[in-house]
Amino acid sequence: MNSPDTRKSDMTSETAAPATAVRAVPATAVRRRGRNAVRGKEVLGAWTLMVPYLVLLLVAGIVPIAYALWISFQQSPTLLEPNKTGFGGLQAYVQVVSDFRFARSFGDIFAVLLVWLPIMILAIVGLALLVHASPGRFGRIMRFIYYIPGALGGVANLMLWVYLLNPSQSPISGFLSGMGFDTIKQVIATRGDLPVILAAMLLLQGLGQWVVTVNGGLNSLPDDVLEAASLDGANAWQLAWRIKLPMIRQWIGYAALLNLAYGFQLFLEPYLLNQVASGSLPAEYSPTQLGYWFAFVGNNFPAAAAMSVIIVIITLAIGLVVVFRSGLFSVEEN
Amino acid sequence: MSATGARVRAGGRPSGAVRRWDAGRIARVTFMTLVALVFLYPMVGFFVVALRSDASVADGTGGFLGIGGISPAGIAHSWHEIISYGGSDTPHVYLTWIGNTIFVAVTGAVLALIAALPSGYALARLRFPGKRYVLIVTLLAMVMPNTVLVIPLFLEVNAINAVGTLWPVAVIMGFFPFGVYLSYIHFRTAMPFELVEAARIDGLGEIRIFFQIALPISKQAVALVAFFSFVANWTNFFLPLALLTSSFSEQTISVGIQSLISSSPLFNPTTAAGLNVKLYMPELALATAISTVPMLIVFIVAQRFLIRGQTLGAVKG
């Protein structure tokens, strides 16, 4: 290893995390390289060991993106010529972007993000700090309870919400009927409700695992700093606000960006809520749903591919910021 | 937890302030408990609904959260309805879906392990040109939501005429960059570089070093990769929806539950009117609850490894 063995990304220690967990540990001296033959064997061995992964990366990552890119530049079929093929330039992109649902679907997502993301980040940070301020069994139990809904996963979580939002048997039916709702269709399809419902669903589902993650970041803060602050007379509030919060800034940024990327690809929730509301929601609420529509209803693969390429580019941009700017990952050669 | 360590040391100090029930501590404990109750309340109610009879739910009897309405007869009836769904063309299709899901989730997890462990080791402990790019691509693939690739994957699988079959889903699920990252972190922290060097001096080849030295100490990584990959595969909805919807008996349980929802008289009276099977809230909740059992089992098996893995800073939605 020629460069310092950065252990920044390993913010994992369950036990009292020593300061070294976040600080770079200098490796021992530069190791002397053996003969070229040894080096060659190492390179060959490395690539051999990576073959299964690289095959899967190609098959399930790179080839589909390249193929979608290629298809997105093909001509779209029309009613008169359903089998029309050939190079179509930016035709599919123009068609997608000028579709009346395109801008609206991004607007819908922004509405959800606007309601959800600030609450989500506040809740993640607040609960993570509270869990971190609760040593021992109580904190662990709370952290576990917050985690359960996320562990249930997609469709199970949706069913939980169907149960919650159906006034006929909901445990909050008093609240729902107080709002004037008699059927689940009314609850979901009333204008303006959907962003709030989606925000609540995403919050309940995602909060727990992010509390655990950010709590992990808190656990890796050097003990001596926290101890010094409390010896200086900082109370729990000051400790959280002045010391811990600034130190987990990069974790908060990481959570915000990944949740932003997650919001852009929203599919399952609006798709299934539409079924529950017997089709009274737009079937192309989110951009991913619109891409799905192009592929499965419109049978317009170039447009579906173009839509996917657009969503991939957006999430890729967010991903690049996370990887290179969040400071959580070290991608330097080591 | 570092906080635990702090408290142990604080105990040595005369102040003992940490243990006192001051206003701040009461507020904190009360607030956290309230949030926990908000989380638990609907979940408990949901699992109770799964155990109630249709009539009890329809009448709204059963007291607090309907707990009084739990009845073995209701459970038996609900189970009978679930198992009868699919008619004579696709008998017991619910069990078929569970079986399909076990197949793709387990195959996907095994492939993820086969791919992740050697590549994670190579990235962590071997020097080779291009490593930085493999790492960057892996991290990018890891932080991007996997659903963004579903339509491109559908187009690819469609091009080879394999839509509606299970194996492409399983293979695609084997691509699990988070697992590669977990293994990478594992070998960087758990396997000293000197160990590799020593094995080389002993004359072992690179591949044999992985199998004889690295693999035996990778139990933690195996547990984490297998768990996270299995759960991600089990709950995956969009990929099987796009690749398997065309074939009713080749679906996974998450897509199957969607079929149950769309056949329920609660949400789709016209479709449901033509079916013998009546799926009300108890049936839907029971079908959902049973579908989470495999995840509970792997969770219990893997839980002592979990907190560590979950905090690797690589959680994705």
Task: Provide DSSP, chain B.
Answer: -HHHHHHHHHHHSS--GGG---HHHHHHHHHHHHHHHHHHHHHHHHHHHTTB-HHHHHHT-SSGGGGGGB-HHHHHHHHHHHHHTTTTTSTTHHHHHHHHHHHHHHHHHHHHHHHHHHHHHHHHH---TTHHHHHHHHHHHHHS-GGGGHHHHHHHHHHTT-TT-HHHHHHHHH--HHHHHHHHHHHHHHS-HHHHHHHHHTT--HHHHIIIIIGGG-HHHHHHHHHHHHHHHHH--HHHHHHHTT-GGG--HHHHHHHHHHT-TTT-HHHHHT-S----HHHHHHHHHHHTHHHHHHHHHHHHHHHHHHTSS----
- Residue A90 — very low, low, confident or very high, per pLDDT cuts 50/70/90? confident
Regarding whether B65 and B103 lie in a shared domain, the answer is no
Establish if A225 touches chain B: CB-CB under 8 angstroms. Answer: no
Q: Do A153 and B234 touch (CB under 8 A)?
A: yes
Query: Over 50: is that where the pLDDT of B2 sits?
Result: no
pLDDT at B72: 87
Task: Dump pLDDT digits (tens) for A179-219.
Answer: 888 888 888 888 888 999 999 999 998 898 888 888 888 88
Establish if B22 touches chain A: CB-CB under 8 angstroms. Answer: no
Q: Do B254 and A155 touch (CB under 8 A)?
A: yes
Measure A80 CA to nearest chain B CA, in Å. Answer: 23
Looking at residues A90-117, what average pLDDT do you find? 92
Question: How many CB pairs below 8 A link A and B?
Answer: 369
Regarding whether B190 and B102 lie in a shared domain, the answer is yes
Q: Which residues pair with B240 in a beta bridge?
A: none
Looking at residues B80-106, what average pLDDT do you find? 90
Looking at residues A98-123, what average pLDDT do you find? 93
- Residue B316 — very low, low, confident or very high, per pLDDT cuts 50/70/90? very low
Identify the DSSP state of A50: T
Yes or no: say if B243 and A296 are a contact pair by the CB < 8 Å rule. Answer: no
Query: Over 50: is that where the pLDDT of B9 sits?
Result: no
ipTM comes to: 0.86
Residue A114 lies inside a defined structural domain of this protein: yes
Residue B77 lies inside a defined structural domain of this protein: no
CATH number for the domain that contains residue A111: 1.10.3720.10
Measure B91 CA to nearest chain A CA, in Å. Answer: 23
Establish if A110 touches chain B: CB-CB under 8 angstroms. Answer: no
B254 chain-A contacts, CB cut-off 8 A: 153-155
How many angstroms separate the CA atoms of A305 and A96, rounded? 10
Regarding whether B35 and B115 lie in a shared domain, the answer is no
Residue B129 lies inside a defined structural domain of this protein: yes
Establish if B128 touches chain A: CB-CB under 8 angstroms. Answer: yes
Using CA coordinates, name the residue in chain A closest to B233: A153
Regarding whether B105 and B54 lie in a shared domain, the answer is no
Establish if A21 touches chain B: CB-CB under 8 angstroms. Answer: no
Regarding whether B54 and B162 lie in a shared domain, the answer is no
Query: Over 60: is that where the pLDDT of B264 sits?
Result: yes
pLDDT at B17: 47
CATH number for the domain that contains residue B247: 1.10.3720.10
Give the residue numbers spanning the domain of B205: 93-310
> In chain B, how many domains are there?
2
Yes or no: say if A248 and A218 are a contact pair by the CB < 8 Å rule. Answer: yes
pLDDT averaged over every residue in chain B: 85
Query: Over 90: is that where the pLDDT of A169 sits?
Result: no
Q: Do B39 and A204 touch (CB under 8 A)?
A: yes
Q: Lowest-pLDDT range, A321-330, B144-153, B231-240?
A: A321-330
Q: Do B147 and A276 touch (CB under 8 A)?
A: no
Give the residue numbers spanning the domain of A123: 100-325
Residue A15 lies inside a defined structural domain of this protein: no
Query: Over 50: is that where the pLDDT of A23 sits?
Result: no
Q: Do B42 and A164 touch (CB under 8 A)?
A: yes
How many angstroms separate the CA atoms of B301 and B296, rounded? 9
Yes or no: say if A56 and A26 are a contact pair by the CB < 8 Å rule. Answer: no
Regarding whether B200 and B67 lie in a shared domain, the answer is no
Establish if B114 touches chain A: CB-CB under 8 angstroms. Answer: yes
How many angstroms separate the CA atoms of B288 and B47, rounded? 9
Q: Which phi and psi angles does A192 have, rounded to 5°?
A: 95, -15
Regarding whether B54 and B133 lie in a shared domain, the answer is no
> In chain A, how many domains are there?
1
